[in-house]
Amino acid sequence: MTDPAPLRAGAREWVGLAVLVLPTMLIAIDMSVLHLAVPEITANLRPTGSQVLWITDIYPFMIAGFLVTMGALGDRVGRRRLLLIGAACFGAASALAAYSDTATTLIAARALLGIAGATLMPSTLSLIRNMFPAEDQRKRAISIWMAGFIGGAAAGPLVGGVLLEHFWWGSVLLIGVPIMLLLLVTGPFLLPEYRDPNAGSIDLPSAVMATVVLVGVTYAFKDFAENGPGWKPLLVLVAALALGTRFIARQRSLTNPLVDPGLFSSRTFGVSLTLLMTSSVVMMGIMFFVTLHLQMVMGFTPLTTALWMLPITMAMIVGTMTAPTLAKRISTPILMAGGLSLGVVALLVLTRVESVSSPLLLVACVVILAVGMGPASMLSTDMVVSSAPKERAGSASALSETGTELGAAVGLALIGSLGFAVYRARLSETMPAEVPTDVAVTANDTLGAALEEARHLPGDVGENLLTAARDAFTSGLHAGALLSAALLTLSVLLILTVLRKASPGTGDAPDPAPVTAREKGAAGNPAGA
């Protein structure tokens, strides 16, 4: 006897999806919207250099650190309930941050925003898992959800720029208040409640350990990317990984673990999570270098650079939104592998870009890369969430978002460090002989330093230094593109050798979710409100 077809979502669920996309967009906007306001914040609140860094960094640190805990909490107390609590806290913290009169208050408010944001991401994604049980509708819903996040990330600087033209710096943070009020009003009517009745209580030591591990790893890679190798980020990383090992051992000994190790016994879950992290590594690393290349090598203003980046953002959305339609006609592993293979080709072409090349070639390569990676990112997210039972969708969603966050940090550190190492080595070899030694040492540090030094050198000497520095940076871009191509090639091999063993055909079924110790003898059915 065949299983009955899953229920299909109706108008209420699709309107509910629109409500869920709003906080997703807001979280992405808040990642970057404050960057443009830093000069005005500095003038008004007089923060120290360290406080300026924490004002911008504490928000993503808290999101990364609390995702796993909040995902597990949503499974226990109810995903809609946690979403609405998080929305209320996010709105309140936004107002507190907007009207902060000291740097310390602003840092504390941004920390609260990050914690509240960590409740929103896994709650929205896990609710989609429950609201859209039919595979084709779920894929479409997840693609819309991802498009909202991508669009929010692109809109952040534009929204911030418009608001700062007419209002004070706190206005960029107040946009969260009306959005969260709308969610609080409509959520109880449009969003159903789901929770795991057999989840048990939260293990507090595990929650603390997970937060410390994730914040530590994110901080270490971010510091490594910004300041280069050093003993401090290395020590933090080693300590975080050691605590992470202890965290894993603890989860295996608990009846109700914070992160169920049984999820990773699913081949589909583990591979999809790996693909999500790898995609984030590649896209973040390449976007970082392309942004700098447009500004510092090709000499564009920030606004012009943003406009050149818009086609890349649109390509990400197109790649994500077309994936569900293509997945109806093409086997999921083949679609993912084909898209990533297209990305490999684009990255190899990117290695032919020169410092004097047209920006069209540079942007076109990244547009093709974004289109190719869209299906893999969207379908990997779907497989991570759908390969877990409904009652553990919150934890699975949190792990999906955590992999993306860590991938972004690793991408900046790994690809950024390689690119800058190649820049320094290349510039040392090609440094014009007429450049003074002290200037050469400074210019060898970063491309920005080289551009600044070149302005103070006479005539041809400055031009020769500019040419050498820009060529060296372009060589660093080539190295980052080659490393990214290698990572995507490994991902293609992983898909073809592991994921293709899943059910053949279109819409490949994921591995059956593993049965854990606490599930033996107890049915894990989602509970109502």
Task: Count CA within 13 A, CB hemisphere, residue 9.
Answer: 25
Q: Say yes or no: 177 and 277 in one domain.
A: no
Q: 27 in a domain, yes or no? A: yes
- On the question of pLDDT at 161 being above 80, the answer is no
Residue 528 has pLDDT above 60, yes or no: no
Most confident of the following: 19-33, 364-378, 428-442 = 364-378
Ramachandran angles phi, psi of 275, nearest 5°:
-65, -40
Are 82 and 71 in contact by the 8 Å Cβ rule? The answer is: no
Please check whether residues 426 and 442 belong to one and the same domain.
yes
Q: What is the mean pLDDT of the chain?
A: 80
In angstroms, the CA 235 to CA 433 distance is: 39
How many distinct structural domains can be found in the chain? Answer: 3
In eight-state DSSP terms, residue 134 is S
Q: How far is CA 107 from the centre of its chain?
A: 22
State the pLDDT confidence band at 8, using cuts at 50, 70 and 90: confident
Give the span between the Cα atoms of 235 and 240, in whole angstroms: 9
The whole-number pLDDT of residue 32 equals 67
Residue 367 inside a domain? The answer is yes
Residues 173 and 219 in one domain: no
Cα dihedral 361→363→368→374 (10° resolution)? 170
Domain span at 236: 203-257
**Is residue 5 assigned to a domain?**
no
Query: Number of H helices and number of E strands within the chain?
Result: 18, 0
Same domain, 237 and 342: no
pLDDT digits (tens, 9 = 90+) for 234-269: 898 899 889 988 888 888 887 777 777 777 777 777
Distance between start and end Cα atoms, the chain:
32
Sign, CA torsion 94/100/104/106: positive
pLDDT on residue 347 = 94
Residues whose CB falls within 8 Å of the CB of residue 363, separated by 6 or more in sequence, listed in order: 290, 308, 309, 311, 312
pLDDT of residue 365: 92
At 53 the three-state DSSP class reads helix
Structure tokens at 156: 């952040």
**Residues 159 and 209 grouped into a single domain:** no
Report how far apart, in Å, the C-alpha atoms of 218 and of each of 284, 396, 398, 403 are. 14, 20, 15, 11
Give the residue-averaged pLDDT of 192-203: 73
Looking at the fold, whether 313 and 395 belong to one and the same domain comes out as yes
Whether 521 is covered by a domain: the verdict is: no
Using 50, 70 and 90 to split pLDDT, how confident is the model at 226?
A: low
- Quick one: which of 161, 226, 176 has its CA closest to 25? 176
Segment 137-148 shows an average pLDDT of 85
Cβ contact 69:202 at 8 Å: yes
Q: What is the pLDDT of residues 54-87, one digit of tens each?
A: 787 788 778 878 888 888 788 777 888 888 999 9
| Residues 20, 167 within the same domain | yes
Do 166 and 245 share a domain, yes or no? no
Find, among 230, 383, 369, the residue nearest to 312 by Cα. 369
Residue 213 included in any domain:
yes
Give yes or no: residues 406 and 482 share one domain.
yes
Asked if pLDDT for residue 36 goes beyond 70, the answer is no
Residue 514 lies in a domain: no
Residues 367 and 335 in one domain: yes
What is the gyration radius of the CA atoms in the chain, in angstroms?
A: 24
> Is the confidence at residue 526, as pLDDT, over 50?
no
Q: Which helix (H) or strand (E) holds 192?
A: none
The tokens describing 268, both together, are 């589909």
Q: Are residues 288 and 229 in the same domain?
A: no
Which pLDDT band, with edges at 50, 70 and 90, does 522 fall under?
Answer: very low
Cα 71 from Cα 234, distance rounded (Å): 28
Angle of helix 49-77 relative to helix 79-98, nearest 10 degrees, comes to 160
Secondary structure class of 13 (helix, strand, coil): helix
Dist CA 405 CA 399 (whole Å): 10
What is the distance between the alpha carbons of residues 96 and 113, in angstroms, rounded to a whole number? 10
Give me the DSSP letters along 71-127.
HHHHHHH-HHHHHHHHHHHHHHHHHHHHT--SHHHHHHHHHHHHHHHHHHHHHHHHH
Asked which of 153, 171, 196 is the last residue of a domain, the reply is 196
Structure tokens at 466: 């500019």
Over the stretch 483-516, which tens digit does the pLDDT of each residue have? 999 999 999 998 888 877 654 433 444 444 444 4
Give the 3-state secondary structure of 432-469.
CCCCCHHHHHHHCCCHHHHHHHHCCCCHHHHHHHHHHH
- Which residues make Cβ contacts (< 8 Å) with residue 203, sequence separation at least 6? 250, 254, 256, 257, 258
What mean pLDDT comes out for the span 367-377? 90
CATH number at residue 283: 1.20.1250.20
Is the pTM of the predicted complex or chain greater than 0.85?
Answer: no
Tens of pLDDT, residue by residue over 93-133, are 999 988 988 888 998 998 898 888 888 888 888 888 888 87
| Domain-located, residue 190 | yes
Does residue 522 form part of some domain? no
Cα torsion angle, 384, 389, 395, 397, sign = positive
Based on the domain organization, do 245 and 394 belong to the same domain?
A: no
CA distance readout (Å), 497 to 267, 490, 502? 11, 10, 10
The confidence score (pLDDT) of residue 349 equals 93
Whole-angstrom distance, CA of residue 150 vs CA of residue 315? 10
* Residue whose token pair is 């190649």: 422
